[in-house]
Amino acid sequence: MKFIKNIIGKISATPNIDYSIISMAFPAILENALHSLPIFAITATLGHINSSLLATYSVGQSVLFLFMVLFMTGNITIMSFTSRSVDEEEEKTTLASGIMLAIILSIVSIVLIWLFSKKLILFISTEIDTNKAHLYVIAMALTSPLFSIVFSIHYWLYGRRMFSKAFFASVVDSMVMAIVASILLCKTTSLLSIPIATIFASFARLTVFYFTSDTFKFLKAIKQDLVSSLSQSLPQYIQKLKSMLNFWLFTFLERAALRGAYFIFNKIVGMLGATAIAAQQVAIQVESLMYMPYFGIALVANSVAGKIAKGNQKKRFLSIYSRLMKLASITSVMGGIILFFVRHTIAALFSSDPQVIALAAQALIVIPIELPTMCMTFVLSNSLRALNRPKLLMLISTATSWGVRVCLGYTLAIILKFGLLGVWIATTIEWSIKVTVYSFILNRMLKSLNVTK
C-alpha cells in the first residue's frame, strides 16, 4: 500500500488526497478490474474462433443485459440499505430481505426473457445466428437465481465496507469463470459454455464467502429465526423488503431507461452490419480495461455516503467525494491517453479479423475524452444515489440516454454515415453532459453546506 500511496502522491502532487480513502478503495478498484477478466477471455476466444460467433455473443449479451437490470438494481439497493444499517440485527434483516428481493426479480427476468428474447434478438440483427443467440440468452437466464443470490451477498459485504473479503471472492470467481469458459469454448465453440462456467464461478464465490466472512453466520441466524419464530421474523423481513422495493423502483427506472437506450443503441450498431457488431464488442473490451476499476471508486463513494448520511454528516461526505473525484479524474485522463496510443495493439488481442480490428480502433479515437467523462460520471451518480437523489438521476439518465445517445447516435452513425465512430462520438457527448449536470448539482450542495473543494 505504501507503493500505491507514493504513486498517487506523485501523480496528484497535492496534500488533499485522503490516503485512507485510497486504501479503502483499492480492493474495490482491483475487484472491479477483475470483473472484466472473464469477458476479456470470452471475447478474445470467440474473436479468434470467428467474428460471426463474436457478433452472435454480442447481440445475446445486449438482450441479456436489458433484463438483468431487474435484479442487478436489487444489488445496488442491498448495498445502499446495508451501508445505512446501525447494528448487526439490521444487517441481518437487510440480507434476508435482499436475497428475497433478488430471487423474486431474477424469476421475473426469466419469465420475461422466455417470452420476449427471440423477438428482441431479431430486432437488433438478422445477420447473426439468431438461434444460437436465443439459446445462449435462455441458458444464462436460468442461472440468474443462483447468480443473483451470490451477488446479493457480495453487495451486502460492500455495504458493510468489507471490500477485501469481497475482493478475494471476486479473484476466485473471475479466475474460475475465465478458465472454464475459455477451455469449454475452445473445445466446443458453443456459447452454452458460458452459462456452465457461470455456475462453476458462482459456487466458487460462495465457497470463498463460507471460509472468509461471517456471511453464513448471518444466514444461519436468518434460518433459525424463520424456523423458531416464523410469525415474528417473516413480517419483519417483509416490511424491510417493502422499503427496499420502494428504493429499488427509482433505481430500476433510472437503469431501465439507461439499458433501454443502450438496447436501441445496439440496434443502431446492428444496422451497420455483423462486422460492426463484432468491432463494437472489441472496442468495449478495450475501453473496459480502464473504466471497470472506476466502478470500485464509485462503490466506495456509495458505501461511505450511506454511513455518513445515516449520521447526518453530509458535509463530511461531500469533502470525501471531492477527493474521490480527484483520484478518478487524474487516473482516467492518463488511462485514456494510454489507450489512444495502444488501441490497435489491444484490439488485436480480441480478434484476428483485420476489418474488426481496424473498425474498433477507429471508434476508439475519442477515448481520451470519453473515458474520463464516463469514469467521473460513475463517481458522481453513485454519490447522488447514496445521498438519496434517485429520482433526479432517473430524470437525467432518461433525458441524456434517449435524447443524446440514441437520437444523436442515429444521426451521426446512420444519417451522416460516420458509422461506428459516430456511435462513439454520441456516447462521449452524452457522458460529457452528465458530468456537467451532476457536477453542477453536487457543487450546489457543496455551496449550500459551505464545503469547499
Domain ranges of the chain: 9-448
More confident residue, 85 or 147: 147
Structure confidence by residue, pLDDT tens digits, 332-354: 888 888 889 999 998 998 988 99
Tell the residue number behind the cell numbers 436460468, with chain if given.
142
Best CA proximity match to 323, nearest among 19, 2, 23: 19
CA 170 – CA 172 distance, rounded (Å):
5
More confident residue, 348 or 20: 348
Task: Give me the pLDDT at residue 306, please.
Answer: 52
Residues above pLDDT 90, as percent of the chain: 29
Contacts of 141 (CB under 8 A, 6+ apart): 64, 67, 109, 110, 113, 114, 117
C-alpha 47, offset from chain centre? 23
Whether residue 156 contacts residue 79, with contact meaning beta carbons closer than 8 Å, is answered with: yes
Task: Give me the pLDDT at residue 135, please.
Answer: 95
More confident residue, 276 or 13: 276
Task: Give me the pLDDT at residue 14, please.
Answer: 37
CA 52 – CA 354 distance, rounded (Å):
13
Task: Give me the pLDDT at residue 27, please.
Answer: 62
Best CA proximity match to 322, nearest among 296, 288, 297: 297
Residue 63 scores a pLDDT above 80: yes
pLDDT band for position 15 (50/70/90)? very low
Contacts of 130 (CB under 8 A, 6+ apart): 118, 121, 122
Residue 181 scores a pLDDT above 90: yes
Q: What 3 state SS string does 343-360 have?
A: HHHHHHHHCCCHHHHHHH
Whether residue 447 contacts residue 323, with contact meaning beta carbons closer than 8 Å, is answered with: no
How many CB atoms are closer than 10 A to CB 436? 12
Structure confidence by residue, pLDDT tens digits, 221-275: 666 665 565 566 677 777 777 887 877 887 787 677 778 888 888 899 999 999 9
Dump the DSSP string for 259-284. Answer: HHHHHHHHHHHHTT-HHHHHHHHHHH
Structure confidence by residue, pLDDT tens digits, 130-166: 999 999 999 999 998 888 888 888 887 777 777 677 7
Mean pLDDT of 183-191: 93
Mean pLDDT of 73-87: 72
Task: Give me the pLDDT at residue 227, please.
Answer: 59
Task: Give me the pLDDT at residue 16, please.
Answer: 42
More confident residue, 404 or 17: 404
Mean pLDDT of all residues belonging to the chain: 79
Mean pLDDT of 75-92: 72
CB half-sphere exposure, 231, CA atoms < 13 A: 0
More confident residue, 271 or 443: 271
Task: Give me the pLDDT at residue 262, please.
Answer: 82
The mean-pLDDT minimum among 17-21, 250-254, 369-373, 429-433 falls in 17-21
Residue 111 scores a pLDDT above 50: yes
